[in-house]
Structure 1
Amino acid sequence: MRFVPKFLLSAMSPDHFPDASRTFDAPEVAFLGRSNVGKSSLINTLLGSKEAKVSSTPGRTRAINFFALHDGTEAKFNARPALIFADLPGYGYAKISKSISAEWPKFIEPYLAEREQLALCICLVDTNIPPQESDTLLINALHAMQRPHLVVGTKSDRLGGNQLTKSLAALKKAHGVDRVLPVSSKSVGGVKTLWPEILNVIQN
């Protein structure tokens, strides 16, 4: 399936979330993770575009950025999007963690807990560092909210086969999950496996 992406809006308040009547109640897929884990890079890789702004400065994304995915051509932009991607602010970077944490209850937690259109959460964890408690807390929170979620291990191209196997095993054990899908925005490894997981939300 070919999608044409279009930046929709940035939201820093529940009042700014996309109006379901204007997006025709399209299912939303949220991308979450620590600052600099590669959320925007993965979104761009999935879309084959540069819609999501990538920065080398951790924590640059401070709003929820929404992208509408249309099946086909630009001529269909007034029609119902097939999907909406939501790029959420990162967390865990020391210099900005306090300010980000202060903003989460204002609009990010309500989005995760109450957004009816939210169909899947993609939780990104870095395969190149030890498991992080902040990631575990997020995954546990999504489980408590009964939000469907998938844990994805980023930057997998930087590790050799045995190293990657050990990293994935450690991540699964620490986060209490049965599966961590390794991906790489650089080599595009794992992206073809991830897409069907995302497309399932359209059919459900």
Structure 2
Amino acid sequence: MRFVPKFLLSAMSPDHFPDSVRTGDAPEVAFLGRSNVGKSSLINKLLGSKEAKVSSTPGRTRAINFFALHDGTPQKFAARPSLIFADLPGYGYAKISKSISAEWPTFIEPYLNEREQLSLCICLVDSNIPPQESDTMLINALQQMQRPYLVVATKSDRLGGNQLTKSLTALKKAHSVDRILPVSSKTEAGVKTLWPEITNLIQD
């Protein structure tokens, strides 16, 4: 699949969310997870670019960053995007959790709960650490909102075969999900598999 990615805008309130004039009501895919779980790195691998800013400091993403994906090539691409990626602020990092938590009800929860264009939520969990309650809370919230979601385990390259299997089993049990897709932004393992997951779920 070939897209030309373009940074669209950053939003810190519902008033800033992109309107249909800019997006053509293209379906949106939201990327969510704990701070430093690798949201921006995964988005860049999916896009084949460095549109999403990556930082080693947790909590740097404080706005919802929107990226428009246009059909075509850099030389010639469609005026209106076919898909929108939304990179949401992370949560769960101790030093910034209070400030991030305070911001969630003001614009992040309205985005997840009310955004008509939101077609899929990609929930990123870290395969290298034990299951986190904050991830379970997010998944439960999306279920209550009746939002389609897919759980993706990042940093899978750091674990051997048996270790990764054990980690995925523990994550499935803790989050009460039947399936988790392991990916690695470093080796790109699982990235090609994720693309059809995104497009199939949107088409459904």
By the TM > 0.5 criterion, same fold? yes
3-state secondary structure, aligned to 2:141? helix
Moved >4 Å (runs of 4+):
none
3-state secondary structure, aligned to 2:139? helix
Q: Please report the TM-score for the alignment, with normalisation by the length of structure 2.
A: 0.97
Q: Which region of structure 1 is more displaced relative to structure 2, 148-157 or 66-75?
A: 66-75
Q: Which residue of 2 aligns with 1:76?
A: 77
For the 8 Å contact 1:27–1:201, the answer to whether it is kept is no
Is the aligned partner of 1:167 residue 2:175? Answer: no
**Equivalent residues in 2 for 1:42-81 (5 A)?**
42-74=42-74, 75-76=76-77, 79-81=79-81
Q: CA RMSD in A?
A: 1.0
For the 8 Å contact 1:10–1:66, the answer to whether it is kept is yes
Aligned length: 203
3-state secondary structure, aligned to 2:58? coil
Identity %: 87
3-state secondary structure, aligned to 2:125? strand
Is the aligned partner of 1:123 residue 2:108? Answer: no
What is the distance in 2 between the residues matched to 1:142 and 1:181? 18
Q: CA deviation at 1:65?
A: 0.1
For the 8 Å contact 1:83–1:202, the answer to whether it is kept is no
Task: After superposition, give the CA deviation of every residue in 1:21-68 in whole Å (9 maximum; x if it has no partner).
Answer: 331100000000000000000000111100000000000000000000
For the 8 Å contact 2:127–2:168, the answer to whether it is kept is yes
AA in 1 matched with 2:83 = L
Q: Which residue of 1 aligns with 2:22?
A: 22
Q: Which runs of 5+ in 1 are unaligned?
A: none
Q: Please report the TM-score for the alignment, with normalisation by the length of structure 1.
A: 0.97
AA in 1 matched with 2:125 = V
Q: Which residue of 2 aligns with 1:144?
A: 144
